[in-house]
């Protein structure tokens, strides 16, 4: 991944030393020690329930045994607040919306949560879960949620580390692991996102950038790795106990043990009356909810019925395209390319949707895997891949294709955040799903409910920016299929 020559990018001072990728087998990265036990004890003793507003469905990528809601009526939220689980997700898909709509949606959900809490008497804390590569409506959503709170927010906790995906915050700089090295986030392809691009890797300066100077980098409080490891939860509690007026706090972490230390101190500060809002990635959610890690799900739990599976690829990030090239040659795969240029006119769009759905039905009926993917043009007749209006047009067309598939698949994989949200909600009708676990690190699996088109089918939410080049092909191969198939990826 390299920065675009047309857009200046901040990385690090020439004198800075880039840290090494943490050892995957280290206790520091894995966590699960004494502080995690302390967290579970504090949660059992009446800590606020965690409500995770997820701006796309990939935030469920570290947890299991809890639910995700795709609608937020007061009765639905009240039922989720009243059950015994420590957390639940509300899928907003707000990353796909224009900024004003995203802000209004967050404010609406927060208002409904307060109404539901009034009915149930449940205390709750809100996590605004967003992208570990720093894309999303950061300022608008945080401001909307601060404005919707019933009492003053003392601090806004920013913790984008996501270890399963190779995202670490060290020395206030956010890094993305790529090919065995850590790359400052602003020097990756994600920083050049057509809608959510940025220049800064130091999170204190990134906050200043994203708030257009409304929050100065020098005013951001930082929790360093040294503070976590030397001062422990008591030091965290002391720092958080001094906050007021929605002060921004950057949390450094290069492993779960760091986050566990932070959360242990955080829960003590909340018990003392402090009120926080959280803007984080998925690793924080697992720790704050007290969910223990679970090994990847066995293939038979994802594709227990045998037969062909459905794979739909809509993401355009470079990692997805690289994974797609290899997946097209996976055992039993029949490629079905969807020509995005044909979406420009209503008649040609209807014809392309019908053609792709018919091909998928025939493939599934033959017991093969139907891999439906959008043409890989970065600039098409619709516009630039990554623009929100283009993404919505493409995603709505993929929804129509899935609606036209009448053959029940053995499993269903959706690749990309907007794609997986729209296919879940509008394609197969998910209203509430159980998170089973992960197919591989950072790749969540839901069980589709009775209200959906295919009750009981495993739905794999495969983020666009997660995994190695081989990950998608390896997952498909592990889920079965004996008919070989290869194809060329068109550009």
Matching CATH topology for 27-289 and 299-478?
no
| Counts of helices then strands in the chain (DSSP H, E) | 15, 20
Q: What is the pLDDT of residues 220-278, one digit of tens each?
A: 999 999 999 999 999 999 999 999 999 999 999 999 999 999 999 999 999 999 999 99
Q: What is the pLDDT of residues 63-119, one digit of tens each?
A: 999 999 999 999 999 999 999 999 999 999 999 899 999 999 999 999 999 999 999
The predicted model scores a pTM of 0.89
Q: Please give the Cα distance from 367 to 310 (Å, whole number).
A: 11
- pLDDT of 488 reads 38
Distances (CA, A) of 209 to 31, 199, 417: 32, 8, 24
pLDDT band at residue 304 under the 50/70/90 scheme: confident
Class of domain 299-478: alpha beta
- pLDDT of 392 reads 81
pLDDT band at residue 33 under the 50/70/90 scheme: confident
What is the share, in percent, of the chain residues with pLDDT greater than 90? 80
Q: Averaged over 418-427, what is the pLDDT?
A: 93
- pLDDT of 306 reads 79
Q: Averaged over 277-303, what is the pLDDT?
A: 96
Q: Which residue has the higher pLDDT, 340 or 5?
A: 340
Q: What is the pLDDT of residues 125-144, one digit of tens each?
A: 999 999 999 999 999 999 99
For the chain, the residue count is 491
Q: Averaged over 297-303, what is the pLDDT?
A: 94
pLDDT band at residue 424 under the 50/70/90 scheme: very high
What is the share, in percent, of the chain residues with pLDDT greater than 70? 92
Q: Please give the Cα distance from 71 to 488 (Å, whole number).
A: 39
pLDDT at 479 over 70: yes
- pLDDT of 2 reads 33
pLDDT band at residue 16 under the 50/70/90 scheme: low
Domain ranges for the chain, please list them.
27-289, 299-478
336 half-sphere exposure, CB direction, 13 A CA radius: 27
Domain 27-289 listed as CATH 3.40.50.10840: yes
């Amino acid at each position: 991944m390299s920065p675009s020559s047309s857009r200046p990018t901040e990385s690090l001072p020439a004198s800075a030393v880039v840290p090494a990728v943490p050892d995957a087998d280290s206790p520091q990265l894995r966590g699960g020690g004494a502080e995690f036990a302390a967290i579970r004890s504090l949660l059992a003793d009446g800590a606020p329930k965690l409500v995770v507003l997820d701006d796309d469905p990939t935030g469920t990528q570290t947890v299991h045994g809890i639910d995700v809601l795709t609608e937020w009526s007061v009765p639905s939220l009240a039922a989720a607040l009243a059950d015994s689980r420590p957390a639940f997700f509300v899928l907003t898909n707000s990353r796909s919306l224009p900024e004003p709509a995203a802000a209004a949606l967050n404010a609406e959900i927060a208002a409904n949560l307060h109404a539901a809490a009034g009915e149930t008497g449940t205390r709750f804390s809100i996590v605004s879960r967003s992208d570990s590569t720093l894309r999303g409506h950061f300022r608008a959503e945080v401001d909307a949620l601060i404005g919707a709170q019933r009492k003053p927010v003392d601090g806004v906790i920013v913790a984008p580390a996501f270890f399963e995906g190779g995202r670490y915050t060290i020395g206030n700089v956010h890094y993305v692991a790529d090919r065995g090295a850590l790359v400052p986030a602003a020097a990756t392809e994600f920083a050049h996102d057509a809608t959510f691009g940025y220049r800064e890797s130091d999170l204190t300066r990134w906050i200043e950038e994203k708030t257009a100077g409304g929050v100065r980098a020098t005013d951001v409080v930082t929790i360093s790795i040294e503070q976590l490891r030397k001062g422990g939860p008591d030091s965290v509690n002391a720092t958080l106990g001094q906050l007021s007026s929605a002060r921004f706090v950057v949390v450094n972490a290069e492993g779960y043990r760091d986050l566990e230390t932070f959360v242990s101190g955080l829960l003590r500060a909340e018990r003392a009356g402090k009120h926080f809002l959280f803007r984080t990635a998925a690793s924080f959610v697992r720790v704050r909810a007290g969910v223990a890690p679970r090994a990847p799900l066995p293939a038979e739990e994802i594709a227990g019925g045998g037969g062909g599976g459905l794979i739909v690829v809509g993401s355009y990030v470079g990692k997805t395209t690289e994974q797609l090239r290899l997946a097209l040659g996976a055992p039993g795969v029949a490629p079905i390319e969807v020509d995005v240029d044909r979406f420009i006119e209503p008649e040609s769009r209807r014809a392309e949707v019908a053609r792709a759905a018919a091909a998928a039905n025939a493939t599934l009926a033959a017991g093969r895997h139907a891999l439906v993917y959008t043409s890989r043009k970065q600039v098409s007749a619709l516009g630039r891949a990554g623009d929100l209006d283009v993404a919505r047009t493409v995603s709505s067309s993929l929804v129509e294709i899935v609606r036209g598939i009448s053959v029940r698949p053995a499993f269903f994989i959706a690749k990309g955040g907007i794609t997986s949200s729209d296919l879940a909600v509008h394609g197969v009708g998910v209203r509430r799903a159980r998170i089973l676990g992960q197919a591989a690190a950072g790749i969540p699996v839901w069980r589709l409910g009775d209200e959906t088109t295919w009750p009981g089918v495993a739905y794999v939410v495969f983020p666009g920016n997660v995994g190695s080049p081989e990950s998608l092909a390896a997952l498909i191969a592990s889920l079965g299929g004996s008919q070989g198939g290869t194809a060329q990826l068109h550009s």
